[in-house]
Amino acid sequence: MKAVLMSGGMDSISIAWWKRPEIAIFVDYGQKPASAERDAGHAACRAMNIRYEQVKADCSAVGSGDMAGTAPSPHAPVSEWWPFRNQLILTLAGAAALRLGATELLIGTLRTDAQHADGLPAFVEKISDLMSMQEGGLIVSAPAIGLSASELVIASGIDKATLAWAHSCHTGALACGNCRGCIKHYETWKAVGWDAH
């Protein structure tokens, strides 16, 4: 059984449409846009008839950057970087996935996420090795790791109405229009020939 790590953003919603996992798992780890991400992912999963599960673990005390509402860490390669974020949320989602009977956890990592170490193919391979060697043997895969966001949207065949649920802002529940997440959102809609408004 497959599960998808559902952030509520364009990438995870497109992965869910494309790969049709049985379960979507949202992790509220204390990020500023959590409520909007949760609602966006839930609405998209309802539209796709995918079971939606949530995990909440407030890790905001260790966050930094746009998603934590603080100044970026001196280690941050980009403004939204949160230390060990993908490792953290994959661990939490992986625990839920095992409880729910999943054997594979899909993530929406793209080719364009390579600006930070946990967006690299090597990270996906190593985290999958780490999780699969433990009890439950959970595999982590990134089916769109060779694609950009617009290429994923096109490859997935997702319809405009379902993708319209996506929340991409890194700073809060209302799209700021200025952060890297919002800019990527608008640029992706434009690249696929859809009006973003």
pLDDT digits (tens, 9 = 90+) for 25-80: 999 999 999 999 999 999 999 999 999 999 999 999 999 999 999 999 999 888 89
| In a domain? residue 196 | no
| In a domain? residue 47 | yes
- How many domains in the chain? 1
pLDDT digits (tens, 9 = 90+) for 110-132: 999 988 899 999 999 999 999 99
CA–CA dist 192, 162 (Å, integer): 15
pLDDT at 87: 96
| In a domain? residue 173 | yes
| In a domain? residue 197 | no
CATH number for the domain harbouring residue 162: 3.40.50.620
pLDDT at 115: 85
The parent domain of residue 52 ranges over 2-191
| In a domain? residue 117 | yes
- Average pLDDT for 121-147: 97
- Residue 135's pLDDT band (cuts 50, 70, 90): very high
- Average pLDDT for 76-95: 94
- Average pLDDT for 97-115: 95
Q: What are phi and psi of 105, to 5 degrees?
A: -115, 115
pLDDT at 186: 95
| Residues 6 or more apart whose Cβ sits within 8 Å of residue 23 | 1, 2, 3, 4, 50, 51, 52, 53, 97, 100, 102
pLDDT digits (tens, 9 = 90+) for 148-186: 999 999 999 999 999 999 999 999 999 999 999 999 999
- Asked if the model's pLDDT at residue 197 lies above 80, the reply is no
Query: Which pTM does this prediction carry?
Result: 0.95
- Asked if the model's pLDDT at residue 101 lies above 70, the reply is yes
- Residue 196's pLDDT band (cuts 50, 70, 90): low
| In a domain? residue 169 | yes
pLDDT at 195: 72
| In a domain? residue 107 | yes
